[in-house]
Structure 1
């Protein structure tokens, strides 16, 4: 489906070689490569399991709640600050229940200090990034759920190195706790005088490294800990966004979880012909099946679905594609979806560019005119390669990690 006279750029990896399977198709990695497991952490355990673990360490079970309070509410892992725990055996208890999961390698700041990108080293040397952003009235953290990504999308920097491994539930949660610790120390850009919001992370977006639904069990365990009001972070499920490139069976599974997170589908093309090339997983679950699963999520939860759409010049920003997207969304009813076009963020080695401003405006206008709420997303952190699709472990990151270990 093309229109004569309109340029069509085909997606292919620019500046790096896309991994292919024996049949020549882009390689998809769903299984996590075998690596040493991270140490078991309090945030990996249910409240009941925490009690049992504390007892195994030779202390009364009620100490588990005290530890959880220090970690989730005071954002500390320092035994010296836990004076309500008995001094004898305190350090052993803390080391056993709150082992170090993330070591900060470096941080980069932009947007007047309101955006910080962190490079973290995991226990096995794997590197991941997360991005902390202050907005008026809220603080958002973009978290990683995998080291690397196995979805192999040619226009996304994160997929260039493939999947290193899944992250544990606690490694995911620890990104939030560490961000809260940094906010509490006053290290995020200054709060506005008229901003009465709490000084902690209020919104989570699973849009960092990795495909969240390919690490389903651990991501959902992390989400349950985030929303646990008694022995977790006590966040609102509505402030948590889980994103996917379209793993339809996992979307259906998420629908049955009874946790009303915001669901975001990274669609990027309304036609299978282009989406097969842009999003290799589309070869398994086509546009219509994924949109049906997204609509079912709305039907079950009442939570409006976000459609993420990277606008790439001459590739997927054609007016007829806006019309086709509107047609497919409206075929499934009104009021269930919101479209977030995102002008492409530049990545190293890529010759692609964001759509022109006139093309962006026309794409948005066509959707809005058909009654589909559509707003261009304001992305942060472009200057520090911290925006959507830019998170990737580089040779410079590897060198910084090695230098930090010396």
Structure 2
């Protein structure tokens, strides 16, 4: 005898749906498309996820939504506040996994660093995230849900509420361009007037160099672009950022320049991120080589002192070497800033984000990460091939 399943169909999570996808959802219910605008405002401007509280929607439609849909952000399971005002969130995303999100205040500016993957499928040698391996991409609901939870923690929702989050950077755990569709949908929600209303100059995507996805990016967004370069030549970058062996510097910078050149604002520049590591990439000759490499490209340069973590033998750059490197670039005509290390007392500084990753790549075993704290009892462990410089692929649904 065959027993048929009586389980109810999964509800549609409206948290991560773009306006177009939300309009299509209401079409499928036989409802007017303007309902999408109403729901977007309730969720992302007012912070309301209970349909019964959405008072400008009729009672029959609220009842229908409760049966077929939900608006759920991932759960914040821990929060740490640094002495410098930085706040780090540990956010549970199921299967024994959690990601980290960091808020960094700086005067009137409040920047939220958002994760796009559980772990990272790349393995940059100076980054703690990659040492934990990789589990999966985050959904759009899990990405924009990080913004929603952070806004909630600062009482940012509601009419007249003071905006604490003024900028968002896709620089947390993961390589954003390897989760293309969900990242693009999430960034567009961040910039949507009916959601968080951030300027396109205040949402930044940072990539290590997934060139095929970068070539597509301009068709879907005009957010700011940051390139994780970290070396002025291919030989050194191959060691620090292994994806460079597949997409070398020349290919990456050419793609990035096409993106910038395609933006309607001709004044826009890309940011070059360069993590300075003591005695590795911090020499004057590296600075001169970098200046020569970038001379035909509209860039500003952000120097990032390496932040040590317990699985790395790299050391923090000296202040003298850091200032010397910066001055060479300034003398060459580049706007060059130094990223102030923030939140290192709570392991929230650049390169330190780790979270909890139920690693599917087995990379964490190579780095001997202690995973005893992970609750993987409900995890579905599926061995997958480690994504490295020879095995990077991406598909587009758009």
Q: If the TM-score is normalised by the length of the shorter chain, which range does it land in? A: 0.7 to 0.9
Alignment match, 2:308:
346
The answer to whether structure 1 residue 249 and structure 2 residue 212 are counterparts is yes
Alignment match, 2:255:
293
Residues 253-294 of structure 1: per-residue CA shift (max 9 Å, x gap):
22344x331110010111111111110101011112212222
Distance 2:58 2:177 in 1: 41
Alignment match, 2:43:
71
Distance 2:245 2:351 in 1: 21
> Is the Cα–Cα contact under 8 Å of residues 121 and 401 in structure 1 kept in the other structure?
no
Residues 153-173 of structure 1: per-residue CA shift (max 9 Å, x gap):
122100012221011122111
Distance 1:85 1:123 in 2: 32
Distance 2:63 2:150 in 1: 23
- Return the offset for 1:61: 5.5
- Return the offset for 1:217: 1.6
- Return the offset for 1:200: 3.9
Distance 1:157 1:320 in 2: 27
Residue 205 of structure 2 aligns to a residue in which SS? Answer: strand
Distance 1:117 1:273 in 2: 35
Q: Which moved more, 1:279-288 or 1:69-78?
A: 69-78
Match of 1:150 among 91, 96, 121: 121
Residues 312-336 of structure 1: per-residue CA shift (max 9 Å, x gap):
0011101101110001111x25xx1
Alignment match, 2:188:
224
- Return the offset for 1:134: 2.1
Residues 61-115 of structure 1: per-residue CA shift (max 9 Å, x gap):
5544332221011112134543444556746625743343401110111135x21
- Return the offset for 1:375: 1.2
Q: Which moved more, 1:168-177 or 1:390-399?
A: 390-399
The answer to whether structure 1 residue 319 and structure 2 residue 290 are counterparts is no
Distance 1:149 1:105 in 2: 21
The answer to whether structure 1 residue 179 and structure 2 residue 150 are counterparts is yes
- Give TM-score scaled by structure 1 length: 0.79
Distance 2:227 2:293 in 1: 14
Residue 174 of structure 2 aligns to a residue in which SS? Answer: coil
Residue 341 of structure 1 aligns to a residue in which SS? Answer: strand
Distance 1:225 1:171 in 2: 13
Alignment match, 2:178:
214
Alignment match, 2:347:
385
- Give TM-score scaled by structure 2 length: 0.80
Distance 1:292 1:52 in 2: 37
Q: Which moved more, 1:56-65 or 1:315-324?
A: 56-65
Task: Check 1:99–1:72 CA distance in 2 against 1; reply closer, same or farther (3 A cut).
Answer: closer
Residue 178 of structure 2 aligns to a residue in which SS? Answer: helix
- Return the offset for 1:58: 7.8
- Return the offset for 1:363: 0.6
- Return the offset for 1:353: 1.4
Distance 1:157 1:134 in 2: 23
- Taking only aligned residues, the RMSD between alpha carbons, in angstroms, comes to 2.8
> Is the Cα–Cα contact under 8 Å of residues 245 and 265 in structure 1 kept in the other structure?
yes
- Return the offset for 1:48: 4.5
Match of 2:14 among 32, 39, 42: 42
Task: Check 1:398–1:185 CA distance in 2 against 1; reply closer, same or farther (3 A cut).
Answer: farther
Task: Check 1:100–1:91 CA distance in 2 against 1; reply closer, same or farther (3 A cut).
Answer: farther
Distance 1:260 1:92 in 2: 36
Task: Check 1:100–1:124 CA distance in 2 against 1; reply closer, same or farther (3 A cut).
Answer: farther
Task: Check 1:308–1:320 CA distance in 2 against 1; reply closer, same or farther (3 A cut).
Answer: same
- Return the offset for 1:60: 6.2
Q: Which moved more, 1:38-47 or 1:103-112?
A: 38-47
Task: Check 1:98–1:381 CA distance in 2 against 1; reply closer, same or farther (3 A cut).
Answer: farther
Distance 1:66 1:397 in 2: 43
Task: Check 1:280–1:48 CA distance in 2 against 1; reply closer, same or farther (3 A cut).
Answer: closer
Distance 1:309 1:223 in 2: 24
